[in-house]
């Protein structure tokens, strides 16, 4: 199926060059067409991911997508529209701490990602504890050839030293230093022009699933226990 990703990216490129309300109003019908195309893509991606992760099968497109309008109230950047379009396929919702699968379309900056981010300190501590307690299982996941081929670094930001409360002699400090447990892999725009991109994307997300299962275990345990996630 042709998901017309070229048209989506072309619109986003034009939007980046004309990020103002006047241009957007003149091109509103074009945006609505792009949004419809993207929603078809996301619906099929949810279905494809559910072939190996049934926890996302109940999700609808609206559960996974975002508004294109930026919240500029507290930002120095007053451009009114996002220059990308993305979908976060998360079994417990976009705002949950539970980790999920993310697809990002942006000209010359497309990527596939997943994991958990913006984590409260107590949640970070529990994930790190789980890693220490189950280090062999964690290493088997993140050091596998398939995982490391796509996801070379854990965390967008990292501590320079071990976090407090963990033994200095722990032999794998690189797994405790992330301030978040998100991972990503960049893909060329042309990745989405192939007829088999959806299959390839699904394969990459399937490689990510054992990692998500690992980090979601302590997150879900805390949520089920009714933890407030306070500091």
Tell me the pLDDT band of 1, cut-offs 50, 70 and 90.
Answer: confident
Provide the 3-class DSSP secondary structure of residue 39.
helix
What span, in angstroms and rounded, lies between the C-alpha atoms of 99 and 183?
A: 11
How much of the chain is in helix, strand and coil states, percent to nearest 5?
50, 15, 40
Confidence band of 224 (pLDDT split at 50, 70, 90): confident
CB atoms near residue 138 (< 10 Å): 21
Distance CA 88, CA 61 (A): 10
What residues contact 198, with CB distance under 8 A and at least 6 apart? Answer: 1, 3, 44, 45, 48
What is the reported pLDDT for 77?
A: 81
User: Model confidence over 81-120: pLDDT tens digits?
Assistant: 999 999 999 999 998 999 999 999 999 999 999 999 999 9
Using 50, 70 and 90 to split pLDDT, how confident is the model at 231? very low
DSSP assignments along 119-171, one per residue:
--HHHHHHHHHHHHHTHHHHHHHHTSHHHHHH---S-SSB-SSPPTTS-TT-S
Angle at alpha carbon of residue 184, lines to 178 and 190, rounded to 5°: 165
Q: What is the mean pLDDT of residues 125-138?
A: 97
pLDDT of residue 75: 80
- The structure tokens listed for 112 are 């596939």
- Alpha helices in 50-91, H assignment, sequence order: none
What mean pLDDT is predicted for residues 167-178? 95
Residue 196, pLDDT score: 95
181 DSSP β-pair partners: 116
Spatial separation of the C-alpha atoms in residues 55 and 63, rounded to whole Å: 13
Cα atoms in the Cβ-side hemisphere of radius 13 Å centred on 184: 18
Q: Specify the pairing of strand 85-89 against strand 100-105.
A: antiparallel
What are the phi and psi torsion angles at 105 (to 5°)?
-110, 120
The rounded distance, in Å, linking the Cα atoms of 220 and 174 is 24
Closest CA to 199 of 42, 49, 36: 49
Question: pLDDT tens, 30-79?
Answer: 999 999 999 999 999 999 999 999 999 999 999 999 999 998 787 878 89
Three-state DSSP class for residue 100: strand
């Amino acid at each position: 199926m042709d998901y017309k990703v070229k048209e989506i990216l072309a619109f986003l490129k034009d939007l980046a060059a004309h990020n103002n309300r006047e241009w957007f109003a003149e091109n509103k019908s074009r945006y609505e067409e792009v949004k419809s195309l993207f929603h078809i893509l996301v619906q099929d991606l949810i279905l494809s991911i559910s072939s190996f992760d049934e926890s996302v099968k109940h999700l609808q497109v609206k559960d996974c997508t975002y508004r294109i309008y930026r919240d500029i109230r507290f930002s120095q950047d007053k451009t009114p529209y996002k220059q990308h379009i993305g979908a976060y396929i998360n079994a417990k919702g976009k705002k949950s701490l539970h980790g999920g699968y993310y697809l990002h379309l942006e000209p010359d900056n497309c990527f596939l990602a997943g994991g958990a981010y913006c984590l409260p300190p107590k949640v970070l501590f529990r994930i790190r504890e789980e890693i220490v307690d189950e280090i062999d299982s964690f290493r088997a996941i993140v050091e596998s050839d398939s995982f490391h081929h796509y996801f070379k670094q854990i965390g967008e930001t990292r501590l320079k030293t071990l976090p407090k409360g963990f033994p200095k002699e722990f032999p794998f400090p690189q797994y405790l230093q992330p301030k978040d447990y998100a991972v990503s892999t960049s893909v060329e725009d042309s990745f989405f022009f192939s007829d088999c991109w959806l299959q390839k994307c699904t394969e990459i997300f399937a490689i990510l699933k054992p990692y998500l299962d690992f980090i979601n275990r302590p997150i879900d345990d805390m949520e089920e226990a009714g933890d407030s996630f306070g500091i």
